[in-house]
């Protein structure tokens, strides 16, 4: 080929790789997976690829084998919902390209086919998420009255979220609205029902909004030295959490709800309580996983991992001979999930983080985060003599929230990093 043809070929392939990488980032793939998959396709063509991932764009530079010619293309990351099924299938595509030396036209055809696949039925997702958050309420010692209220709050709030996002309303505004609506329904336990665990009805009514996967991806990116991408994801997640807090604050202020009482349930039989905790976590993990549109074969594994992880954490925290703190227990539980996720991923050719991350979500320290928001409200509303007390409580609860999140994610990704080769080759099918 002459120089013009070489440049045209590089241009066409660079544009494909940029579209491919940007789509992976948009649907929630971890940065290392994006990089490995994109470079793998370039290698199938005998080309060199450099990838620069920025918060809103992907920069791809492709060189020919002799590095005499190059082409650079910058692609804006599209706005797409989390979709682990697309993550898996695009990873499969990268291995097919590498093993079978697929031409560019075939890759484009497969890429568009994968992107056009329908998501899980919206009503199915809505109902399962509602049950997931109701079980989340139970994990925080909410009674059956609280579970029913939280189910209704989640159903209404998540339905509003689906409709507003479909109309392309700003995501931050959507989170404020949904948080407010859900917490108003949760506050009815304080105002009318008085079911006995009113605090749990309010505190868990909006936890379905917590951006768990972006937080976990952000921590994993930082641990994997993709600091810029990780920080961008964490900052975006923090903005969404602030919006959730704004909705909660509006409810507390407008309806004069007292968020300072907390339920504490003592369960004497640690083994049966651990099993029950694990079973509720399995339902919660499955419901939260389906938001990310995973393949159905991954849901059962997610449920098992969530069950084991939460049961392990509960046992470590409440067994009299151990009585570990929540940070250490969460780290151990995350490690157990990570160790089981890698062989499970190899079995069904699915990224380990695809079901490990949703399995972690029932362990998200939502109550510490709720208490931190409560402390901020008290700093503003109560007399100045109480300010320092609630400032100290705010930093205490905020620090525990961060440490628990970091600990459980670090524990989970350690096996993925140790078995690095296996973790990033699980989507390779047999030749």
pLDDT digit string (tens) for 251-284?
988 988 876 666 666 666 788 888 888 999 999 9
Q: Compute the average pLDDT of residues 179-207.
A: 91
H/E element, 73: strand 70-76
Looking at the chain, the whole-number percentage of residues with pLDDT higher than 70 is 97
Tens digit of each residue's pLDDT (9 = 90 or more) over 131-141 = 999 999 998 88
Instruction: Please say whether the beta carbons of 46 and 65 come within 8 A.
Output: yes
pLDDT above 80: residue 288 = yes
Q: Which DSSP symbol is given to 238?
A: H
3-state secondary structure of 46: coil
pLDDT at residue 411 in the model: 93
Q: Compute the average pLDDT of residues 400-408.
A: 92
Looking at the chain, the whole-number percentage of residues with pLDDT higher than 90 is 61
> Which residues have a Cβ under 8 Å from the Cβ of 229 and sit 6 or more positions away?
31, 53, 55, 218, 221
pLDDT tier at 2 (50, 70, 90 boundaries)?
confident
pLDDT at residue 196 in the model: 84
For residue 352, give both structure tokens. 């380990």
Kindly report the average pLDDT of the chain as a whole number. Answer: 90
pLDDT at residue 265 in the model: 61
Q: Compute the average pLDDT of residues 100-110.
A: 94
pLDDT above 90: residue 313 = yes
pLDDT above 90: residue 357 = no
pLDDT at residue 261 in the model: 66
């Amino acid at each position: 080929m002459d120089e013009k043809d070489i440049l045209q070929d590089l241009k066409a392939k660079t544009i494909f790789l940029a579209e491919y990488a940007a789509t992976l980032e948009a649907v929630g793939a971890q940065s290392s997976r994006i990089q490995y998959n994109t470079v793998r396709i370039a290698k199938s063509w005998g080309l060199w690829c450099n990838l620069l991932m920025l918060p809103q764009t992907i920069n791809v530079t492709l060189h020919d084998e002799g590095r005499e010619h190059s082409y650079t293309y910058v692609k804006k990351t599209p706005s797409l919902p989390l979709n682990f099924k697309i993550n898996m299938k695009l990873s499969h595509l990268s291995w097919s390209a590498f093993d079978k030396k697929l031409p560019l036209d075939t890759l484009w055809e497969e890429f568009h086919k994968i992107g056009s696949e329908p998501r899980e039925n919206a009503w199915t997702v809505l109902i399962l998420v509602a049950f997931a958050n109701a079980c989340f309420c139970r994990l925080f010692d909410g009674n059956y009255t609280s579970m029913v209220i939280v189910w209704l709050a989640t159903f209404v709030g998540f339905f509003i979220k689906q409709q507003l996002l479909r109309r392309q309303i700003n995501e931050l505004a959507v989170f404020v609205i949904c948080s407010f609506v859900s917490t108003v329904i949760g506050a009815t336990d304080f105002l009318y029902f008085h079911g006995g665990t009113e605090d749990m009805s309010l505190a868990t009514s909006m936890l379905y909004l917590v951006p768990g996967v972006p937080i976990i991806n952000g921590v994993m990116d930082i641990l994997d030295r993709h600091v810029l991408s990780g920080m961008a994801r964490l900052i975006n997640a923090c903005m969404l959490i602030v919006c959730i807090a704004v909705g909660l604050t509006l409810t507390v202020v407008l309806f004069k709800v007292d968020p300072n009482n907390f339920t504490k349930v003592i369960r004497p039989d640690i083994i049966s309580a651990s099993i029950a905790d694990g079973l509720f976590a399995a339902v919660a993990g499955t419901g939260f996983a389906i938001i990310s549109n995973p393949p159905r074969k991954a849901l059962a594994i997610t449920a098992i991992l969530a069950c084991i992880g939460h049961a392990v954490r509960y046992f470590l925290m409440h067994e009299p001979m151990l009585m570990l703190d929540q940070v250490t227990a969460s780290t151990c539980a995350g490690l157990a999930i990570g160790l089981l996720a890698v062989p499970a991923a190899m079995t069904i050719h699915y990224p380990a983080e695809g079901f490990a991350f949703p399995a972690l979500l029932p362990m998200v320290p939502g109550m510490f985060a709720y208490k931190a928001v409560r402390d901020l409200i008290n700093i503003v509303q109560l007399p100045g003599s109480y300010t320092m007390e609630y400032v100290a409580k705010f930093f205490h609860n905020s620090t525990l929230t961060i440490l628990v999140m970091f600990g459980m994610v670090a524990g989970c990704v350690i096996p993925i990093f140790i078995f690095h080769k296996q973790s990033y080759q699980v989507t390779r099918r047999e030749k």
